[in-house]
Structure 1
Amino acid sequence: MILEHPITIIGAGLGGLTLARVLHVYGIPATIYEADPSAQARPQGGQLDIHEHNGQRALEAAGLTDEFRAIIREGGEALRMLDQHGTVLYEEFDDGTGTRPEVLRGDLRRILLASLPAGTVQWGKKLTGVVALGAGRHELTFADGSRVPTELLVGADGAWSKVRPLLSDAQPMYVGATFIETYLCNVDERHPATAEAVGSSAMSALTPGKGIVVHREAGNVLHTYVELTRPAEWIASIDFTDVTAATRTIAAEFDGWAPALTALITDADTPPVPRMIYTLPKSHRWDRVPGVTLLGDAAHLMPPSGEGANLAMFDGFELGKAIAAHPDNLEAALTAYEEALFPRSESEAADAYVLLDLCLGDRAPFGLIDFFNGAPKEERESHRQP
């Protein structure tokens, strides 16, 4: 494919990077514009389950299976569920099958970045405006005043996408749940009771309306999401710049819980960071607009279900494959991609809402335990928070 202005991707997350890499494998140039000033500008999040049927397929298409296997955390597929007193209600051990191995998001992003030609990612490029030029072409304006024309624009820029308004009027909506992020370091030495309660990999302690979900990461680090179903106004009333007061307020919601669990809040080594959960409509889709499309959270923002990163990478793989299959007809490529994207996204979004209810709804945690006990193994492995 020879384009006067190569394919433009907004956002250097996992989805945008996967798309660029798959296109590179096919010999198709692309440029990613990313608002962050560098790859190290901010933390990239914690552990991810990478699933056989989507995330691993995308990495295989990207030619990165060996690099992916090298960053897998051994034993990361284990899971236990506790009640608020620390009693084990359910447990799965890592059977070594590798159907959903765990890796750090930062490590996965690193191998994707390393696989791209120098200059593919243009850092410090915050998109501020897009103007349609006709015939599917667009001109992009960045905060530094630069302008770039493109024949194909892909919005891989997440929940608050600046590209989405070209296609859809949909706005992210708060679902009534907030996950408050904390880290506890050197846990085996400093917090042995908490380390024992969490176990070797993932742990969740859930009750209606609240819960604690933890991943053990390399270096004796526990990465915690304190989950609360609360109105946006309640979250806004907490001054998270006052770490002591904010911690006290969050911990009070877990009064009476086992100290080994509440230590994940009260003894955290990082300030509590609220992650309010926003979603797009379950059936979000758009009419075909020449020269532009979306992938990942920009296209199908949904509650955490263990699928977000997998879907973003799979979208990138599918879009890259469609472009390669229609090298002289970008509109045919985008049509084929979106025709598969929409039903896939709608199905996954419906499942994500079910999982959120199982985790924090009236039957928590026993609805989720029933699900794990009754669902086929591959289905259980596809829906693990966060």
Structure 2
Amino acid sequence: MTTTTTPRVALIGAGPGGLTCARILQRHGITATVYDRESGPDARDQGGTLDLHEDNGQTALREAGLLEEFFRISRPEGQEMRQMDPAGTLLFHHTPEAGERFKPEIDRGQLRDLLLGSLTPGTVRWGHTLRSVDGPADGPRRLHFTDGTTVEADLVIGADGAWSKVRRAISPAVPQYSGISFLEAWFHDVDSRHADIAELVGQGGAAAADGDRGLFAQRNSGDHIRVYVIQRVPVDWIGAAGLTIEDTDGIRALLLDRFRDWSPRMRRLLGDNDGRYVDRPIFALPVPHTWEHNPTVTLLGDAAHLMPPLGVGVNLAMLDACELALAIAENATVDAAIRAYESTMLPRSHETQKLLDNGAAELLSAELPDFATDEAR
């Protein structure tokens, strides 16, 4: 199947990776359809803030023709980073210089809106939950959705995250629990309602750990802060304590007890939150994760190389998307495009997987990484 005959490209997942790939393909005159299980773009909270790095996430946005718009809405002041100890003593402070653009912050929802707004109307088909992929390896492939509909495609791209259904067509690998869990807490109207926390966190992120537990707080746009409580616990630690995720008061009491040796000011980061907590156990794919080449199916982002959330996930997903879209545009066949893409993506992801293996546990170290370096987040 040649790209000159306009292959039918099906992208599964309307996250940053899938949308970036579709955008760059469209800029090269190649139609792609994105299928997503959510009912619409506003179906759920898209998560916190992320930093797009100059050498990967921003590279993809430049190829998508969206870099200047990103700079307009991003928050360069979000590059500020603070390291503290459990007493709240400031150990390290990085303040971005004027004009610094190496890794500005942007809320996930804002990034998604930027990408969605750049696509041809109708590109994303909402409410399509993939059940399976079948058909001959050399195509066409058949995508079966849970609503009973079936779609044929010449190229299926799995951009469907950690629990990818597309991955099953080419790899038996499944994510494994890392032993580290994040618990997310939200703070709203922080400058007026949580002024002490706002001052503690600053305009970017603030981290602290004592060797067994840690906190990472991050400023979001719209006067919000999200705090991630980091613990080495069983995946079912909330249930094991006789609680459910809806039992906010019970979880809060448990956390305050576990962090009882921390200063009262630091304990506000896990006890003064607005509303429920969000449980986020950290999973990762085997290191390295690879598969036998398939001429009609490939993966990008977390579907290909799920790693601990240390600031590279979205950046690598967008770089994957950029390189895959360009390979499709520049190669005569889908098979050749996949080979060209995977020849660079797989070695890069393997190296990063090795670098970040057990990285979530390192967030508990009392000797936190230097947040002024590229590897810090």
How far apart in 2 are the matches of 1:314 and 1:332? 19
How far apart in 2 are the matches of 1:233 and 1:354? 19
Q: Percent identity?
A: 41
Q: Name the structure 2 match of 1:242.
A: 247
How far apart in 1 are the matches of 2:352 and 2:28? 28
Q: Name the structure 1 match of 2:369.
A: 368
After superposition, the C-alpha distances for 1:83-106 in whole angstroms (9 at most, x for unaligned) are 111100111111132111111111
Whether the 8 Å contact between 2:163 and 2:175 is mirrored in structure 1 is yes
Summarize the Cα distance change of 1:58–1:10 in structure 2 as closer, same or farther, 3 Å threshold.
Answer: same
What is the DSSP-based 3-state SS (H/G/I as helix, E as strand, rest coil) of the residue aligned with 1:366? coil
Q: Name the structure 2 match of 1:27.
A: 29
Give 1:31's aligned amino acid.
T
Q: Name the structure 1 match of 2:124.
A: 121
Give 1:41's aligned amino acid.
A
Q: Name the structure 1 match of 2:342.
A: 338
Q: Name the structure 2 match of 1:381.
A: 374
1:4 deviates by 6.9
How far apart in 1 are the matches of 2:194 and 2:42? 29
Whether the 8 Å contact between 2:179 and 2:232 is mirrored in structure 1 is yes
Matched, 1:107 2:110: yes
Whether the 8 Å contact between 2:133 and 2:142 is mirrored in structure 1 is yes
After superposition, the C-alpha distances for 1:164-188 in whole angstroms (9 at most, x for unaligned) are 0111111100000001011111222
How far apart in 2 are the matches of 1:12 and 1:353? 27
Q: Name the structure 1 match of 2:73.
A: 71
How far apart in 1 are the matches of 2:74 and 2:286? 33
Runs of 4+ in 1 over 6 A off after TM superposition: none
Q: Name the structure 2 match of 1:151.
A: 154
* Comparing 150-159 and 73-82, the one that deviates more: 73-82
1:204 deviates by 0.4
What is the DSSP-based 3-state SS (H/G/I as helix, E as strand, rest coil) of the residue aligned with 1:310? helix
Q: Name the structure 1 match of 2:310.
A: 305
What is the DSSP-based 3-state SS (H/G/I as helix, E as strand, rest coil) of the residue aligned with 1:136? coil
After superposition, the C-alpha distances for 1:50-98 in whole angstroms (9 at most, x for unaligned) are 1011000000011111111111114111100111111001111111321
Q: Name the structure 2 match of 1:6.
A: 8
Matched, 1:275 2:280: yes
Whether the 8 Å contact between 1:206 and 1:212 is mirrored in structure 2 is yes
Q: Name the structure 2 match of 1:40.
A: 42
After superposition, the C-alpha distances for 1:255-289 in whole angstroms (9 at most, x for unaligned) are 12122221122111120111000000121010111
Structure 2 unaligned segments of length 5 or more: list them. Answer: none
Whether the 8 Å contact between 2:209 and 2:368 is mirrored in structure 1 is no
Give 1:107's aligned amino acid.
Q
1:209 deviates by 2.4
How far apart in 2 are the matches of 1:254 and 1:4? 58
Q: Name the structure 2 match of 1:318.
A: 323
How far apart in 2 are the matches of 1:3 and 1:245? 60
Aligned residues: 372
After superposition, the C-alpha distances for 1:132-179 in whole angstroms (9 at most, x for unaligned) are 135232111112111101110000000000010111111100000001
Whether the 8 Å contact between 1:224 and 1:264 is mirrored in structure 2 is yes
How far apart in 2 are the matches of 1:299 and 1:235? 29
How far apart in 2 are the matches of 1:236 and 1:26? 50
Give 2:349's aligned amino acid.
S
Summarize the Cα distance change of 1:45–1:233 in structure 2 as closer, same or farther, 3 Å threshold.
Answer: closer
Whether the 8 Å contact between 1:207 and 1:359 is mirrored in structure 2 is no
What is the DSSP-based 3-state SS (H/G/I as helix, E as strand, rest coil) of the residue aligned with 1:52? coil
Whether the 8 Å contact between 2:6 and 2:31 is mirrored in structure 1 is no
Whether the 8 Å contact between 1:136 and 1:292 is mirrored in structure 2 is no
Q: TM-score, length-normalised on structure 2?
A: 0.95
Structure 1 unaligned segments of length 5 or more: list them. Answer: none
Alignment RMSD, CA only? 1.6
Give 1:334's aligned amino acid.
I
Whether the 8 Å contact between 1:14 and 1:109 is mirrored in structure 2 is yes
Whether the 8 Å contact between 1:51 and 1:382 is mirrored in structure 2 is no
1:52 to 33, 51, 54: 54
How far apart in 2 are the matches of 1:195 and 1:224? 12
